[in-house]
Amino acid sequence: MSVVKSRSKAALARRSDCPVACTLDLLGDRWTLLVVRDLFLGKQRFQEFLGSPEGIATNILADRLQRLEHDRMIDRIASESHEARATYRLTARGATLRSVMLAMLSWGLEQIPGTSTAAAGRPLPRGPA
């Protein structure tokens, strides 16, 4: 008798079971990690993300925030005074990306001439989440 593993819809949508490929499926586009970076830097509101130097378009930002919320990387906290407004914060799962962000920061500083932590507005905090 063979046993068939039950797989979730997310698992069925994977290109493979490779952890690198699966991570890239969640975070590997041009904008997602920049939004995560901004969350680590203390940005919480839609307009604050738009102020980042990379110039993300409003439709792309809205999509990335929705994806991050769907993937349980961030929480969206609705404003009590204005239905369309919200603040965003990293979940415990999202906060585990700190080491990834610090590794990327370190690699970029070492390998790409002219890069600076100040380019993001201020240095990424190096302490615990």
Evaluate whether residue 85 is within a structural domain. Answer: yes
Q: Residue 85 sits in which domain range?
A: 16-120
For Cα atoms 11, 60, 64, give the angle at the middle one, nearest 5 degrees. Answer: 40
Question: In the chain, how many domains are there?
Answer: 1
pLDDT the model gives residue 11? 47
Rg (CA), the chain: 17
Evaluate whether residue 65 is within a structural domain. Answer: yes
Structure-token match 């995560």, residue found: 36
pLDDT the model gives residue 14? 79
Q: Give me the residues of the chain with pLDDT under 50, please.
A: 1-11, 127-129
Evaluate whether residue 126 is within a structural domain. Answer: no
For Cα atoms 98, 51, 102, give the angle at the middle one, nearest 5 degrees. Answer: 15
pTM of the model: 0.82
CA distances from 89 to 19, 107, 114, 123, 129 (A): 25, 26, 30, 18, 12
Evaluate whether residue 1 is within a structural domain. Answer: no
pLDDT the model gives residue 6? 41
pLDDT the model gives residue 118? 82
Assign residue 25 the CATH number of its domain: 1.10.10.10
pLDDT the model gives residue 128? 46
